């Protein structure tokens, strides 16, 4: 098997893991909003059984654990494939090792979530690590596909990337990640409905930034900041000759505006299970798009700085 084929298979494994992990993240939201986190109060069994009782909440939690197991198997398979091939280890080894460490941390946090009776800090950490793991596998998949030669390589990719665009996209990834984690903390801490109205909070434009109100308002202010920042990134990306890069910025703006609409609707409707799941699904999708855009920008050649000729003495 050629090196290109090995990278392509690693890319396919990575993509399958990313898709299943995306579904797992959404399932995690369903577990939280339905109050199913302690329906199986033990771990790894469910009420002392291998299979759950015929109760909706127990089934939801058990399915979440089953999908987590499948994700673990797929990720371990991907890491093994990378580890067994020297060409892949050189390019993907660090990413695969990072993903494996994050997987172990995620399994431990999953168990602690049950053992510590849904402690908000642990539940929030569980989502934070899940999104890091998701991001690492997205990057691994992109790098493997690039090395396999599957990335689009039109003539515009030969043009240099606009100055400042790579840092701008990188910061966008960090802001989206931080906002998603903060949203998870809002849900886990019970701050979702502490401000039951919008754009005010209990009728106040500038409420006290303390306790649950502070967490809720930090999430709202973060959303406003993120929206403005992504508009700036979209404006900057217009200068890119690569149409894919130029299109990612406006796509992110559309996703963040949609995220705001979903969030407000969820608030007004009293936190619906399907809207909460859609809210997190859109956030994770936005993160994946931002990472893919960052990778695409990073693949463009740097702009060469012209050096003035030095006259001979």
- Per-residue model confidence (pLDDT) at position 311: 54
Query: Is the pLDDT at 266 greater than 70, yes or no?
Result: yes
Confidence of residue 157 (pLDDT cuts 50, 70, 90): low
Which single residue is written with the structure tokens 């691994």?
140
Query: Is the pLDDT at 307 greater than 50, yes or no?
Result: no
Q: Picking from 16-30, 155-169, 224-238, which range would have the lowest pLDDT averaged per residue?
A: 155-169
Our CA dihedral for 264, 270, 271, 273, rounded to 10 degrees, sits at -120
Domain borders along the chain are 1-151, 154-302
Select the more confidently predicted residue: 309 or 145: 145
- Per-residue pLDDT tens digits for 205-226: 999 899 999 999 999 999 999 9
3-state secondary structure of 188: helix
3-state secondary structure of 185: helix
Average pLDDT over residues 137-163: 79
Average pLDDT over residues 298-312: 64
Burial of 124 (0-12, 13-18, 19+ CB in 10 A): buried
**What is the distance between the alpha carbons of residues 45 and 298, in angstroms, rounded to a whole number?**
45
- Per-residue pLDDT tens digits for 177-209: 999 999 999 988 889 999 999 999 989 999 989
- Per-residue pLDDT tens digits for 52-105: 999 999 999 999 999 999 999 999 999 999 999 999 999 999 999 999 999 999
State the average pLDDT for the chain. Answer: 90
């Amino acid at each position: 098997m050629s090196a290109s084929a090995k990278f392509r298979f690693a890319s396919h494994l990575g993509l399958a893991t990313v898709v299943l992990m995306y579904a797992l993240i959404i399932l995690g939201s369903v577990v939280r909003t339905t109050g199913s986190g302690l329906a199986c109060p033990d771990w790894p069994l469910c009420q002392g059984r291998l299979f759950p009782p015929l109760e909706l909440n127990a089934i939801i939690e058990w399915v979440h654990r089953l999908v987590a197991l499948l994700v673990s198997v797929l990720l371990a398979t991907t890491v093994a494939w990378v580890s067994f091939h020297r060409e892949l280890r050189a390019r993907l080894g660090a990413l695969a090792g990072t993903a494996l460490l994050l997987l172990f941390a995620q399994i431990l946090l999953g168990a602690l979530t049950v053992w510590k009776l849904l402690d908000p800090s642990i539940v929030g950490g569980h989502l934070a690590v899940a999104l890091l793991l998701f991001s690492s596998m997205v990057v691994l998949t992109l790098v493997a596909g690039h090395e396999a030669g599957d990335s689009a390589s039109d003539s515009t990719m030969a043009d240099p990337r606009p100055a400042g665009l790579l840092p701008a996209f990188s910061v966008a990834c960090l802001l989206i990640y931080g906002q998603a984690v903060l949203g998870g903390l809002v849900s886990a801490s019970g701050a979702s409905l502490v401000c039951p109205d919008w754009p005010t909070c209990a009728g106040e434009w500038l409420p006290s930034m303390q306790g649950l109100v502070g967490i809720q308002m930090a999430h709202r202010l973060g959303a406003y900041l993120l929206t403005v920042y992504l508009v700036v990134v979209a404006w900057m990306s217009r200068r890119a000759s690569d149409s894919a890069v130029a299109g990612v910025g406006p796509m992110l703006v559309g996703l963040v505006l949609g995220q705001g609409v979903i969030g407000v609707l969820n608030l007004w409707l009293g936190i619906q299970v399907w809207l909460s799941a859609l809210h997190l699904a859109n956030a994770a999708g936005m993160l994946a798009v931002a990472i893919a855009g960052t990778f695409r920008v990073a693949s463009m050649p740097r702009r060469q700085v012209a050096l003035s000729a030095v006259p001979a003495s």
